[in-house]
Amino acid sequence: MNGNVVPLTRGSAPATPSLAPILSLTQAAMNSVNQVILDRMQSEIPLIPALAGHLISGGGKRMRPMLTLAGAEVIGYQGTRHHKLAAAVEFIHTATLLHDDVVDGSETRRGRETANIVFGNPATVLVGDFLFSRAFELMVEDGSLKVLKILSSASAIIAQGEVDQLVSQRRIETSEERYLHIIGAKTAALFAAASRIAAVVAERGEEEERALDDYGRNLGVAFQLVDDAIDYDSSAAEMGKERGDDFREGKMTLPVILAYARGNEEERRFWRDAVAGFSNSDEDLAHAIELIHKHDTVAATRERARHFAQRACDALAIFPDSEARRAMVEAAQFAVARGY
């Protein structure tokens, strides 16, 4: 990789970054991906498409399949193999969301009741399994063992990351290093794989594969860091979920890790009780937010996100300047600037 740097912020950068350029770039291909998703979530058992459709139609950004499509654009791939693979990526992501909502006992997502509330936990877990199976069917149909290895490995890493997060839940001693390892697995691994497979189907070299992998991985870390900051910094209407969900579930996210590290003994005692589940009322949440603002840990979390987003942009430096590269850079800018 060369030593060029693609600035995260430059004089010509938009004042308010948007996903509009990458949405426009990938719109035509995304229509094909959405058709694959619609076709492959069907089943002779009506509950399956009903439950899958409840989440899939819920207004998500489709960031992961979008990265597969944008990656294909930035390297100039002209084929269509990546359409089915982008759908496979979305099925993997959707399956993990269904399982996560059951594990977390979540009640809302993107402003709607979660599938586990509407359909029950057993059905939600089983339909998640169905979507995983559909994803692997699509991978096998593509016929590339390398693609299969990349996406199956990412699926295993995601599952390990989710288990690691579960083990770390309500453990105040969780370090920033451990936290970054967890989100690198549970979030960034699929971002990386979704980006990388574009270079594989285009039969590009290791350098292009690694560049897209690095872009996706760093963007995924930045995206999750901002998600965790938003839980303490935005209204439920903006987030599409209840504010303070992470707090009540005892999740050790970076804003909490930093607030605990920077706090005095009285504040640390509060955090120990809160993370253990002994202090999780609305008043406790308000106090937690007060401490997080006192120690500027949302700002610190967003600053770390900017660092990873810059690394994502730098990874694109091997590709020539193009509409696609600029759209991917702005997607990284949006990831750290967003409030939802």
With beta carbons less than 8 A apart as the criterion, state whether 144 and 84 touch: no
pLDDT value, residue 136: 96
pLDDT-based confidence at residue 292 (cuts at 50, 70, 90): very high
Hey, what are 125's tokens? 């877990």
Q: What is the pLDDT of residues 71-116, one digit of tens each?
A: 999 999 999 999 999 999 999 999 999 999 999 888 888 778 999 9
User: Rg of the chain over CA atoms, in angstroms?
Assistant: 20
Q: Tens of pLDDT along 121-139?
A: 999 999 999 999 999 999 9
How do residues 33-55 score in pLDDT, each as one tens digit?
A: 999 999 999 999 999 999 999 98
Domains assigned to the chain: 20-337 (1.10.600.10)
Neighbour count for residue 146 (Cβ, 10 Å): 12
Distance CA 331, CA 131 (A): 27
Q: Residue 87's CB: how many other CB atoms inside 10 A?
A: 25
Look up residue 231 and give its amino acid.
D
Q: How far is Cα 86 from Cα 36, in angstroms, rounded to an integer?
A: 9
Give the mean model confidence (pLDDT) for residues 172-201: 97
Would you call 172 exposed, middle or buried from its count of C-beta atoms within 10 A (0-12, 13-18, 19+)?
Answer: middle
In percent, the amount of the chain with pLDDT more than 90 equals: 82
- Residue 138 in 3-state DSSP? helix
- pTM value? 0.92
Residue type, 34: N
The two tokens of residue 338 are 């967003």
Q: How many CA atoms lie within 13 A of 36 on its CB side?
A: 25
Within 10 angstroms of residue 122's Cβ, the number of other Cβ atoms is: 10
Which residue in 152, 160, 157, 114 sits closest to 133, CA to CA? 152
Of 220, 226, 215, 299, nearest in space to 262 by CA: 299
The rounded distance, in Å, linking the Cα atoms of 114 and 119 is: 9
Can you say whether the dihedral through the CA atoms of 97, 36, 34, 326 is positive or negative?
positive
Distance CA 210, CA 119 (A): 41
Mean pLDDT of the chain: 91
Does 14 score more than 60 pLDDT?
no
In angstroms, the CA 167 to CA 164 distance is: 5
Is the four-CA dihedral 159, 191, 334, 29 of positive or negative sign?
negative
Query: Amino acid identity of 294?
Result: K
pLDDT higher than threshold 90 for residue 186? yes
